[in-house]
Amino acid sequence: MQRIVIRPKIQRPILVVLFTGWGLLGLTSFTSGDVIAERNWFGLGLGVLVIVSGVLGVWRALRMGVVIDATGVRLRNFDSRDVVTPWHAVQAVDCEQVDARAGLPLYAPVLRLAGGPVPVTALGSYSRDGAEHKTSQLRAFLSRDARE
């Protein structure tokens, strides 16, 4: 079974640029050499903390997305742990309007589980056709899993 990785097209590059800038901002605290020469421990700690948080932010932004494979659907969010939904727990996949942003409806695949519906908003689209295409991809994976 082929693995599909779908990544956000706009959010991911914006976050990478922001956190790269944040890390570089922390790096500028060491460029003059005053922080190190004066043994300013607070400044050293703050600079290292900002650099590390920038690197971690870039890493989290780069791995954002949805992974669809033989094990199930894995949602990799920026601010939380990965959420894995195995195929054997999915009863059906539907395409529905899950939200409205700026007055426009957002359509996305919805996984029907025994515990209730789980919208996959990371695969959402303002175009119903685009969301239906992604829903059909998920249905194909679900039907392959049922055959095996």
DSSP 7-25: --SSHHHHHHHHHHHHHHH
Beta bridge partners of 90: 113
- pLDDT digit string (tens) for the chain, length 148 residues: 688 888 888 889 999 999 999 999 988 887 777 777 677 788 888 889 999 999 999 999 999 988 988 888 898 888 888 888 898 888 999 999 998 988 999 999 999 998 889 888 888 889 999 899 888 888 887 776 555 5
How many residues appear in the chain?
148
Rounded-to-integer distance, Cα 75 and Cα 133, Å: 18
| Cut 0.85: pTM above it | no
pLDDT at 128: 92
| Cβ neighbours of 137 (radius 10 Å) | 16
Q: Supply 88's token pair.
A: 């054997």
DSSP 26-85: HHHTTTSSHHHHTT-HHHHHHHHHHHHHHHHHHHHHHT-EEEESSSEEEEE-SSS--EEE
Which of 142, 4, 119 shows the shortest CA–CA distance to 68?
4
